[in-house]
């Protein structure tokens, strides 16, 4: 951590220092000076920490902004910044924030999760994990979809790290977050416009253009939130198999629709119908991450995108999904499992040809689940 930030913490963030140092705390939420919540193990708790008053909270935020070369004041009442330790902070000042200065600090976790962790958390079954591994090996284009804090970035980290060592991966992000364990990986970060300091912005779109000229095998766009969706789809459609990105959506079909909306945000001349077809052929697999009410993050669906039907709707088929079987009466945690959905992916022949050890029987749902899958449909 830089010493300027250390000073800012020791001087101004004393009231929440213990929370920032506690490795079990993943997020700190400040709702005005007197109300602070933390997220621990996926659940949100209120804590007793308080700032003395509104003005000391605002000064703390000012000095943090300053330490990262930014300003927060009446003219710039919102701050979105990354702290030197990789944590992300967002601040909104009153009067926009009605309860007083509102802050969320998403702490940077030093340890990134692995496929094994996801299995041990029950977020994936061993077979579903092996299947994802196969998708990466076969160079399937994957979109990780989910809400805020549902585990998209963690999933992308895990998937990226399974890429074969012989390949070159280029990662493009709005704010650096991914830590992919791969032999040959390059990271790029977009830059905001700052005319007062003579700094010209570099967008994710710009970086995708550069990435394409830097001999990529695969490209990852960390968070697809704007027009860059079209660039990622084009990357996927032009032979950079195994490219990936995340979108904010609640189901696999939703993820496709969301990508479409984002593609159309730019001043593209491509008609919507054509964009829909491009998305349906570019995206092979959607991994849906969800955060459940018990605080658990799970892989809700692994689905294949098959195309467009005669009404122009996306056709997707669930390959695996998480099903709830019950609830632990003591902890309140949901009990469930990721199960196959009785669907054999269209690319099964590639699994066979490449002699990958994944027999067809692994796509067959257990009896108890078959009943539930039918009931849901």
Binding site for ligand ADP (CB under 6 A): 26, 42, 109, 113, 118, 121, 123, 146, 148-154, 297
Number of C-beta neighbours around residue 149 at 10 A: 15
Residue 16, SS3 per DSSP: helix
The single-letter DSSP state of residue 365 is P
Task: Tell me the site size for Mg ion, rule CB under 5 A.
Answer: 2
Q: Are strands 244-248 and 142-146 parallel, antiparallel or unpaired?
A: parallel
Query: Quick one: what does residue 216 bind among ligand ADP, Mg ion, none, with the CB cut-off 5 to 8 Å set by partner type?
Result: none
Minimum CB distance to ligand ADP smaller for 60 or for 249: 249
Strand order in the sheet with 78-82: 43-47, 36-40, 25-31, 102-106, 88-92, 78-82
Minimum CB distance to Mg ion smaller for 85 or for 127: 85
Minimum CB distance to Mg ion smaller for 77 or for 86: 86
Residue nearest to Mg ion (CB): 153
- Any contact of residue 303 with Mg ion (CB under 5 A)? no
Query: Quick one: what does residue 205 bind among ligand ADP, Mg ion, none, with the CB cut-off 5 to 8 Å set by partner type?
Result: none
CB of 146 to ligand ADP, least distance (A): 5
Query: Quick one: what does residue 160 bind among ligand ADP, Mg ion, none, with the CB cut-off 5 to 8 Å set by partner type?
Result: none
CB of 123 to ligand ADP, least distance (A): 3
CB of 356 to Mg ion, least distance (A): 30
- Rounded to an integer, what distance in angstroms lies between the CA atom of residue 159 and that of residue 144? 10
Minimum CB distance to ligand ADP smaller for 67 or for 150: 150
Where helices occur in the chain by DSSP H, the ranges are 3-12, 17-21, 54-67, 115-120, 126-137, 152-160, 204-212, 228-237, 252-263, 272-282, 348-353, 367-376
Query: What count of Cα atoms within 13 Å lies in the side-chain half-sphere of residue 173?
Result: 15
User: Which 140-169 positions form the footprint of Mg ion (CB under 5 A)?
Assistant: 152-153
- The residue count of the chain comes to 377
Query: Quick one: what does residue 164 bind among ligand ADP, Mg ion, none, with the CB cut-off 5 to 8 Å set by partner type?
Result: none
CB of 370 to ligand ADP, least distance (A): 25
Minimum CB distance to ligand ADP smaller for 42 or for 77: 42
Q: Are strands 102-106 and 25-31 parallel, antiparallel or unpaired?
A: antiparallel
Minimum CB distance to Mg ion smaller for 101 or for 153: 153
CB of 283 to ligand ADP, least distance (A): 18
Minimum CB distance to ligand ADP smaller for 292 or for 358: 292
Minimum CB distance to Mg ion smaller for 177 or for 231: 177
Q: Tokens 């160079």 appear where?
A: 139
Query: Quick one: what does residue 257 bind among ligand ADP, Mg ion, none, with the CB cut-off 5 to 8 Å set by partner type?
Result: none
Query: Quick one: what does residue 63 bind among Mg ion, ligand ADP, none, with the CB cut-off 5 to 8 Å set by partner type?
Result: none
The three-point CA angle 191-225-185 to 5° equals 60
Minimum CB distance to ligand ADP smaller for 86 or for 149: 149
CB of 131 to ligand ADP, least distance (A): 16
CB of 212 to ligand ADP, least distance (A): 25
Tokens describing residue 60? 């703390």
CB of 52 to ligand ADP, least distance (A): 29
**Cα→Cα distances 81→40, 103, 106, 243, 275, Å:** 22, 11, 11, 27, 33
Q: At what angle do helices 272-282 and 252-263 cross, to 10 degrees?
A: 130
Cβ(314)–Cβ(305) under 8 Å? yes
Residue numbers at the binding site for Mg ion (CB under 5 A): 152-153
């Amino acid at each position: 951590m830089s010493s300027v930030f250390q000073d800012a913490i020791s001087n101004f963030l004393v009231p929440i220092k213990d929370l920032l140092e506690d490795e079990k705390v993943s997020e700190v939420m400040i709702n005005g000076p007197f109300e602070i919540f933390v997220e621990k193990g996926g659940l949100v708790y209120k804590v007793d920490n308080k700032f003395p008053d509104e003005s000391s909270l605002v000064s703390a935020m000012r000095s943090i902004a300053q330490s990262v070369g930014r300003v927060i004041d009446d003219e710039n009442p919102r701050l979105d910044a990354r702290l030197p330790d990789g944590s992300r902070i967002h601040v909104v000042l009153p009067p926009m924030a009605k309860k007083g200065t509102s802050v969320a600090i998403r702490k940077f976790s030093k340890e990134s999760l692995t496929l094994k962790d996801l299995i041990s958390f029950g977020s994936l079954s061993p077979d579903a994990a092996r299947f994802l591994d196969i998708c990466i090996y076969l160079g399937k284009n994957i979109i990780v979809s989910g809400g805020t804090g549902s585990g998209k970035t963690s999933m992308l980290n895990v998937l990226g790290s399974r890429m074969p060592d012989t390949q070159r991966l280029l990662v493009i992000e709005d704010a650096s977050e991914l830590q992919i364990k791969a032999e040959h990986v390059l990271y790029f970060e977009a830059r905001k416009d700052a005319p007062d300091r003579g700094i010209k912005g570099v967008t994710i779109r710009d970086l995708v253009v550069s990435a394409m000229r830097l001999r990529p095998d695969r490209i990852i766009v960390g968070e697809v939130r704007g027009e860059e969706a079209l660039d990622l789809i084009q990357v996927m459609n032009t032979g950079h198999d195994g490219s990936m990105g995340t979108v904010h959506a609640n189901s696999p079909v939703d993820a496709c629709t969301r990508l479409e909306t984002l593609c159309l945000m730019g001043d593209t001349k491509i008609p919507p119908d054509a964009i829909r077809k491009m998305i349906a052929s570019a995206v092979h697999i959607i991994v849906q991450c969800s955060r459940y009410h018990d605080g658990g993050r799970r892989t809700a669906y692994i689905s294949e995108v098959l195309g467009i039907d005669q009404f122009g709707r996306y056709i997707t088929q669930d390959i695996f999904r998480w099903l709830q079987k019950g609830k632990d009466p003591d902890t309140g945690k949901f009990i469930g499992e990721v199960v196959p959905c009785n669907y054999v992916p269209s690319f099964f022949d590639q699994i066979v040809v490449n002699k990958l050890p994944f027999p067809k029987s692994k796509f067959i749902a257990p009896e108890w689940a078959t009943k539930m899958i039918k009931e849901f449909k």
